[in-house]
Structure 1
Amino acid sequence: MVISTTKRTTVLLVFLCWIIFGGNAVNAQPAKDSVAATTVPGPVKLSADSLLIRMEELHNTLNRINDITSRGFDTREMGEELPEIKSNLQTIEDNLRLYNKVLNIRNLQMFRVLLADMREHLEDWRSRLFDYNKELVRMNAEMMAFTKDSFVKQIKADTTFRKFYLPELKELKGKWDEAKKATTQHLDKIAVLQAGISGSYFKAIELENKVNEQLRVFSIKSLSKEYNYLWDDKIRTDSTAATLTQQSSKSFEGLGRILDYYTRNHSSTWLWVFLIGLVFFFRVNKQFKRINNAGKKELLQPPYIKYLRALPVLTTLVIMFNIASFFDLNAPAAYLDSLQSFLLFLLTILFWRKWERRMFVYWIAIVVLYMLTMGTAAVVVPDVRVRIWMLVLNVLSVVTGGFIYFRIYKNLSAGRLVRIVSMIFIVLNVLAALFNLFGRLSIAQVYSTAAIAGLLQIIGLTVLIQIIEEAFYLQMQASRIAGGITARFDFEKVRAGLHKILVALVVLLWLMVFTTNLNLYNDLYTGISNLITKPRNIGNTSFTLGNIGLFFVILLISNLFQKYIGYFFGETDDELIGEVKEKSTRLLLLRLLVLIAGFLIAIAASGLPMDKITVVLGALGVGIGLGLQNIVNNLVSGVILIFERPLKIGDFVEVAGQKGRVKDIGIRSSRMVTTDGAEVTVPNGDLLSSKLINWTLSNNHIRTELLFTIAPSTALPLAKTIILEEVSGSDAIIGKVAPELLVKSMNDNNVVLKLLVWIQNVHHEEAFKSRMIQQIYQRLKENEITMS
């Protein structure tokens, strides 16, 4: 049975090779290929094992190749998008020919971004097609390797094997033909795609160079005279103007298609924007419900809440369209303009609900002015009528800027920032009017559009600041109701810090978009990048300004963190006197660790060598020895406070003649709040060297005393009974320690009594005394006993 199987296998392989090569090489020379050739002096006796191995390899190879080719290669996206990219490249090329006569800086900026984006896509496709082609060539090589087997020349002569296994040979022949056909088709398809993609790739590079050249020309000639003075210009009726008008109208359709392409290819960024909006929506809605359920609707009224609602759909959209620019910092100006238009629509609805009518009319005027300015900027024909209309818009813009500077800014959170931008808005429009008068039309258009876009963007961003601060306020109030960890935070103090951070981010984003509109962003970015990354040397020490700046930024962040970490261990600033929970005594250690970690990270980020830093630390040690003894003493004393634990945050202590509650244990000094509400700063060294009385070291218990003068003295037994009854009935005393009532002095007219009683909380001492005196006085008076 084994012999029969071997013979069948041998015949199968022989006949397959005979079918493939037509049986025309019976007398061929032995193959010399190194892949499978075996040359011997005489006839070679075929091994059954060798034939089985080769047959199995052939089956596996053909099956694998057919599986791969049946699944195909991922070229559908390339085939669908390549015609669109070609069309966009042609549109850009047509517009660049137009801008050789009339510069349109905003479209040039858009083209630069889009060309870079398309070039990256094409480059990625070229790389993938190269890998696909390499895989197909390898599969072809594997198939052809079997044709060079040294056994072929002897097997093909055996007609018995071919006749016996003809059906199986036909099946393998079919697989072979299928694999050969599929690989050939894929190779042809990939070759066509490679040709088209490579052509578009090089065309994109060429257009990029042209765009950069035109932008360079604009930067050089933007202040030079392009056209006649306005008073010397005339209405153009020549064929050139008509041709430019026709070409510009035709290009608008292409520009719309290009912008649609960019939006679709960057739609993934909107997933993050949508996720942030979704989290914000449900978070704010949950906080509104929590506050309403607690019966504190007054917290949701102005001035605390102005824009947010229980279902904050509108404010969520405002946030989404404001932050969308963060996720695409290199977006073209036209894309940003579309976001701005949607944002203006949302802000108009929001202001219509919240602003007074007069302010809302001013806002509508600003929106109309924006639409007119942007529409005028799209007209590329330098006709005198367009120039006069631009001049009118500049005058209207100056008047509008004055209204914003003196009135509208009051309705916005960061009003000071809006006033600064409104002044920039006025200055740019004045300059645009002057440039227009003197024939510098390109720079006039740039200044006009950049001014109005920057003004409306800063208004939208200030609304974003206010919405975030309102959401933070809701979080604080809801946390106070739920008893969360943020319930300890002081809202006003934390909001002040949050406001500064938000303003800084807003200014950064606004500057990026504003300088992009002025065609300055790339130059500024390159200049600043070179400034902070260029290596500098002082002696043998090499450093960069960026590393030095990062050093101080990390120190600043660590200092702020150690400052506000006290909220997680101490009290809020609005807590004066009352019951205090025990706080962690490791607060000071955490602050020291934060500062030390920040310092070490800052040193690592600075890139300075450690041997240089040890020199600085040595100099610092000399300074400590000469004049910083007290500071070091206080620092070391602070560390000792951690381990000895003579006091902790919230303890009621007495030191240096002052009584109060420990509010904060700092690195150098600690703070305590006296019973009068004053904050006293005590150096840590004094806490260890001076006499420190801690009333709450192990517990909050305290023994207090009250003095009573009773008349007549004959009523002493009844008075003692009344006093002890009232004191024993109080919940504030420690029940297991009986109150003591002692006679301090006595005569024929009255008797002085001293009451000694232990109460549970030292912070309630004064309130307990007040309540006891009133109750005891009322009981004694009812029994005709006088208390003085």
Structure 2
Amino acid sequence: MIKLKYILALLALFFVLHAEAQNRQDSVQITESDQAATSTDTLLKKVERMHTSLNRINNVSERGFDTRDIEKNLPQIQENLAIIQENLSQYSSVQNARNLQLYSVLVSDMQAQMNDWRTALFAYNRQVISMNEQIRSFVDDSMIQHIRKDTLFFHLYQSELSDIKSKWEKAIRSTASDLDKITKLQASVSNTYFASIELKNTIRRQIKKSQTETFGQEYPFIWEKEQANAAASVDQAKVYEGQRKIVRYYFQRNGSDWWWFLIIGLMFFGWVANNFRAVKKAGGLSIAEQPELTYVSAFPLAAASVVVFNIAPFFDLNPPSVYVNMMQFLLLIGLSFVLWRSWQRKFFWYWLAIVAFYLFFAFSNVVTHISPAYRWLLLAVNAGCVVFGLSLLRLLRTELAMKGFTKTVTGIFIVLNIAAIVANIAGRVSMAKVMSIAGIFGLSQVIGLSVFIHLIDEAFYLQMVKSRLKDGKNIRFNYGKIQDRLNKILSFVAVIAWVIIFASNLNAYNQLYKKLYFFLNKPYEVGSVSFTAGHILLFFVVLYISNLLQQYLGYFLGETEDDFGSETNKKNSRLAIVKLVLLLGGFLLAMTASGLPVDKLTVVLGAVGVGVGLGLQNIVNNLVSGVILIFEKPLQLGDYIELGDKKGKVKTIGIRASKMLTSEGAEVIVPNGDLISNRLTNWTLSNEHIRTVLTYKLQPIAQLEEAKQCILDVLANTERVMQQLPAEILITNINDTSVELSVRFWLTNLNQEHEVKSEVLVNVYNALKSRGINLL
């Protein structure tokens, strides 16, 4: 019995162990199956990632890296640098300060261009290296090694793997080619860049040397025998050829400037020509033909060229001498056409003499071989300029703008020519040439700027004439009110422009600009607030311009000096909104331009709030009331209002106060706060109709009905009496001998009340008298 128990126990243990072993075997089989499945999925994902990466790399290589601009323009830059280097090394004795400044600017521009290229090439290089490293990483990837050993997987996906292999080989070749190309371009650009740095240093040394030699004696005294000099042996043709290539590159670099010249010229031409056409069409030639229009014409081609070439020098203050001479010559041509039509012949011959002097000095400025004959000729022309300048001072045209400044410039012209004579005699020919060209440039430029002021002045005048032509009638306006201010502003700008151009011709602009730039941008600190003189200046300039615009904008958009009886376009009320926007926008822009941080602006606004609380309540009240008037519109320009004991027509609605024109011609300035807080009667809020009353006392009483009908007939035939609202004739007093009548009727325009009443009185009197009815 015991043995049977042991046997059963052993059998049970055997089955348990067997079941456990079977479970373990099944578990191992399941795990190996999962691992196989996982390995296949991983390989497929790896193949997919490789396929995507190689496609991306090959697509980038096929598109290529954008180096066309570098490949196209780098040889040109290298050629220009070589030309500049040749001019400096072989023809340094004939290089003037303006050309050296130009070389410095051009080399700086080339360096900036090459810096951009180097940045782009470094980025391309990093991208190619990254792609190359990614391709190489596929070789060392353990998964790729596993794919090679797994024959079953390789057999199943043979076509996909072959495609990946071909793309991988293509990527290897293309990235290697791209890397080689980019590396060579990098080397070429870097070498050229470093060469430009050396050239820039050479130019800097030449400029310092030129500044020193300009004040030194280059040649013997004019009466002494001249020794052979380096400039005499210079090949003129090669010098001019080098200059021509540099100027060609300059034109290519600044080609967009000419588009701007064309746009500005067309805008001015179209503006003036269109205004002339509009004035002529509206029958306003009686105004447009007044003496105010002397320089502009109906076809202002020459005037447009004068405007364009007066502002052209400010597009680049370091151009080559040939470019400067060409631009000035084009300006002189335009001025000659304008002055031929505008000036008397005696003064025009003086202008032609200025043109002749300019042409001589312009050509002499490019002469490199300084012979004794040239020096004597230069001395004679300088002496002629002195005599001419003295004569010009006596006969200076009084009509020129900036008359006082023109006299000053003429005096400078005389002094510079005297100094040029002295410098030439002393052997300082370069200094004599600089002074001569600066003098004639300054004189011709001040005349050009004076004509420029006249052109802008007359163009604005024509705009005001055009904007005031209504229904073919000329509206009266006072142009002199803004002409003085406009001329002062334009004259100030012209003087600044002349000083800049004059300093540029004297080769002193760069030094002047550096000092002014340092002064305007030097930081100053008051407590914790930091500011610069430039920011403060810009703050006041922006405020001044915004105030100027809002003050005179209406004059150029049709605002008139209306009398009491004239009609006013109520659309002009929108000008008040524009003025408010200009003031607020100008203030905000000025605060931004001041450079003050926001927290400091908060302090300023807080101080303003304290000021308001202490004593500016009335001013702020009027300002706020002005805003309310603009948007709520209880009255508009031209409305007939009654405020207290004052009646009149609204002439202007300002930001702080408004103007009311009474029937007596007085202008009453009313604070906007009074218009809002006091009782205001607006007779023309909805329309301009008004009912008026005439009183008649007539006899005999027997003809009363005939008299009424007669009065009604007169009113029916009066044009400015409203017929839609019938007139009323009421008896206010009657007796045996006479009767008093009150005639009430409506007028279409209250501004014409007195005129219509006068007309009706006369017509009624004549009509009643013809019927034998007497007025008492």
Aligned residue in 1 for 2:66: 74
Normalised by the length of structure 2, the TM-score is 0.80
| 1:517 equivalent in alignment to 2:505 | yes
| 1:386 equivalent in alignment to 2:374 | yes
CA distance in 2, matches of 1:568, 1:373: 43
Aligned 1:192-231 pairs, distance under 5 A: 192-219=184-211, 222-231=214-223
CA distance in 1, matches of 2:127, 2:621: 73
Aligned residue in 1 for 2:254: 266
| 1:739 equivalent in alignment to 2:728 | yes
CA distance in 1, matches of 2:36, 2:650: 101
| 1:94 equivalent in alignment to 2:86 | yes
CA distance in 1, matches of 2:163, 2:251: 51
Aligned 1:386-785 pairs, distance under 5 A: 386-402=374-390, 405=393, 409=397, 418-480=406-468, 493=481, 498-539=486-527, 541-564=529-552, 572-582=560-570, 595=583, 598-599=586-587, 602-603=590-591, 605-606=593-594, 607=596, 609-610=600-601, 613=604, 617=608, 620=611, 624=615, 648-653=636-641, 659-682=647-670, 695-696=683-684, 699-706=687-694, 718-735=706-723, 736-740=725-729, 742=731, 755-784=743-772
- Contact 2:656–2:671 (CA under 8 A) maintained in structure 1: yes
Evaluate the alpha carbon distance shift between residue 152 and residue 359 of structure 1 in structure 2; reply closer, same or farther with a 3 A threshold: same
- Contact 1:488–1:571 (CA under 8 A) maintained in structure 2: no
- Contact 2:635–2:682 (CA under 8 A) maintained in structure 1: yes
Q: Number of aligned pairs? A: 737
* Alpha-carbon offset, residue 765 of structure 1: 1.0
Aligned 1:363-378 pairs, distance under 5 A: 363-378=351-366
3-state SS of paired residue (1:660)? strand
CA distance in 2, matches of 1:640, 1:86: 67
CA distance in 2, matches of 1:465, 1:372: 27
Aligned 1:137-152 pairs, distance under 5 A: 137-151=129-143
Evaluate the alpha carbon distance shift between residue 621 and residue 675 of structure 1 in structure 2; reply closer, same or farther with a 3 A threshold: closer
Evaluate the alpha carbon distance shift between residue 729 and residue 511 of structure 1 in structure 2; reply closer, same or farther with a 3 A threshold: same
* Alpha-carbon offset, residue 542 of structure 1: 3.9
Q: Which consecutive unaligned segments of at least 5 residues does structure 1 have? A: 1-42
3-state SS of paired residue (1:268)? helix
Of stretches 270-279 and 593-602 in structure 1, the one that deviates more from structure 2 is 593-602
* Alpha-carbon offset, residue 573 of structure 1: 1.5
- Contact 1:307–1:354 (CA under 8 A) maintained in structure 2: yes
Evaluate the alpha carbon distance shift between residue 146 and residue 265 of structure 1 in structure 2; reply closer, same or farther with a 3 A threshold: same
- Contact 2:309–2:327 (CA under 8 A) maintained in structure 1: yes
3-state SS of paired residue (1:216)? helix
CA distance in 2, matches of 1:158, 1:616: 83
| 1:240 equivalent in alignment to 2:220 | no
Evaluate the alpha carbon distance shift between residue 288 and residue 130 of structure 1 in structure 2; reply closer, same or farther with a 3 A threshold: same
CA distance in 2, matches of 1:568, 1:241: 58
- Contact 1:450–1:518 (CA under 8 A) maintained in structure 2: yes
3-state SS of paired residue (1:235)? coil
- Contact 1:432–1:445 (CA under 8 A) maintained in structure 2: yes
- Structure 1: which amino acid aligns with 2:226? I
* Alpha-carbon offset, residue 64 of structure 1: 3.8
Deviations 1:453-489 (A, max 9, x none): 23333444444444444444454444445889x9999
* Alpha-carbon offset, residue 587 of structure 1: 8.0
- Structure 1: which amino acid aligns with 2:430? S
* Alpha-carbon offset, residue 769 of structure 1: 1.9
Q: Which consecutive unaligned segments of at least 5 residues does structure 2 have? A: 1-34
Evaluate the alpha carbon distance shift between residue 67 and residue 551 of structure 1 in structure 2; reply closer, same or farther with a 3 A threshold: closer
* Alpha-carbon offset, residue 171 of structure 1: 6.7
* Alpha-carbon offset, residue 107 of structure 1: 1.0
- Structure 2: which amino acid aligns with 1:263? F
- Contact 2:698–2:739 (CA under 8 A) maintained in structure 1: yes
* Alpha-carbon offset, residue 768 of structure 1: 0.2
* Alpha-carbon offset, residue 291 of structure 1: 4.2
Deviations 1:573-629 (A, max 9, x none): 2444223355788987886776566556545544272576378548846973xxx78
3-state SS of paired residue (1:230)? coil
- Contact 2:720–2:748 (CA under 8 A) maintained in structure 1: yes
Compute the RMSD of aligned alpha carbons.
4.5
CA distance in 1, matches of 2:284, 2:238: 60
Of stretches 215-224 and 566-575 in structure 1, the one that deviates more from structure 2 is 566-575
- Structure 2: which amino acid aligns with 1:436? N
CA distance in 2, matches of 1:642, 1:499: 32
| 1:118 equivalent in alignment to 2:129 | no
Task: Give the counterpart of 2:128 among 130, 136, 144.
Answer: 136
Aligned residue in 2 for 1:16: none
CA distance in 2, matches of 1:50, 1:130: 36
- Contact 1:46–1:151 (CA under 8 A) maintained in structure 2: no
- Contact 1:287–1:474 (CA under 8 A) maintained in structure 2: yes
Evaluate the alpha carbon distance shift between residue 309 and residue 668 of structure 1 in structure 2; reply closer, same or farther with a 3 A threshold: closer
Deviations 1:3-36 (A, max 9, x none): xxxxxxxxxxxxxxxxxxxxxxxxxxxxxxxxxx
CA distance in 1, matches of 2:258, 2:287: 34
* Alpha-carbon offset, residue 260 of structure 1: 0.7
- Contact 2:708–2:729 (CA under 8 A) maintained in structure 1: no
- Structure 2: which amino acid aligns with 1:514? F
* Alpha-carbon offset, residue 258 of structure 1: 0.8
CA distance in 2, matches of 1:530, 1:308: 41
Give percent identity, aligned residues only: 41
Aligned residue in 2 for 1:336: 324
- Contact 2:637–2:653 (CA under 8 A) maintained in structure 1: yes
CA distance in 2, matches of 1:643, 1:265: 51
- Contact 1:88–1:254 (CA under 8 A) maintained in structure 2: no
Normalised by the length of structure 1, the TM-score is 0.79
Of stretches 384-393 and 261-270 in structure 1, the one that deviates more from structure 2 is 384-393
| 1:187 equivalent in alignment to 2:176 | no
Deviations 1:503-544 (A, max 9, x none): 444444433333222222222222222222222234555433
- Structure 2: which amino acid aligns with 1:553? V
* Alpha-carbon offset, residue 235 of structure 1: 3.4
* Alpha-carbon offset, residue 254 of structure 1: 0.7
CA distance in 2, matches of 1:604, 1:743: 70
CA distance in 1, matches of 2:326, 2:370: 25
CA distance in 2, matches of 1:154, 1:618: 80
Evaluate the alpha carbon distance shift between residue 538 and residue 512 of structure 1 in structure 2; reply closer, same or farther with a 3 A threshold: same
Deviations 1:162-190 (A, max 9, x none): 99999988776665554444433333333
* Alpha-carbon offset, residue 93 of structure 1: 2.1
* Alpha-carbon offset, residue 332 of structure 1: 4.6
* Alpha-carbon offset, residue 369 of structure 1: 1.5
Evaluate the alpha carbon distance shift between residue 455 and residue 532 of structure 1 in structure 2; reply closer, same or farther with a 3 A threshold: same
- Contact 1:727–1:739 (CA under 8 A) maintained in structure 2: no
- Contact 2:282–2:471 (CA under 8 A) maintained in structure 1: no
Evaluate the alpha carbon distance shift between residue 535 and residue 686 of structure 1 in structure 2; reply closer, same or farther with a 3 A threshold: same
- Structure 2: which amino acid aligns with 1:678? A
Deviations 1:749-787 (A, max 9, x none): x87765443323221112102221332233244435566
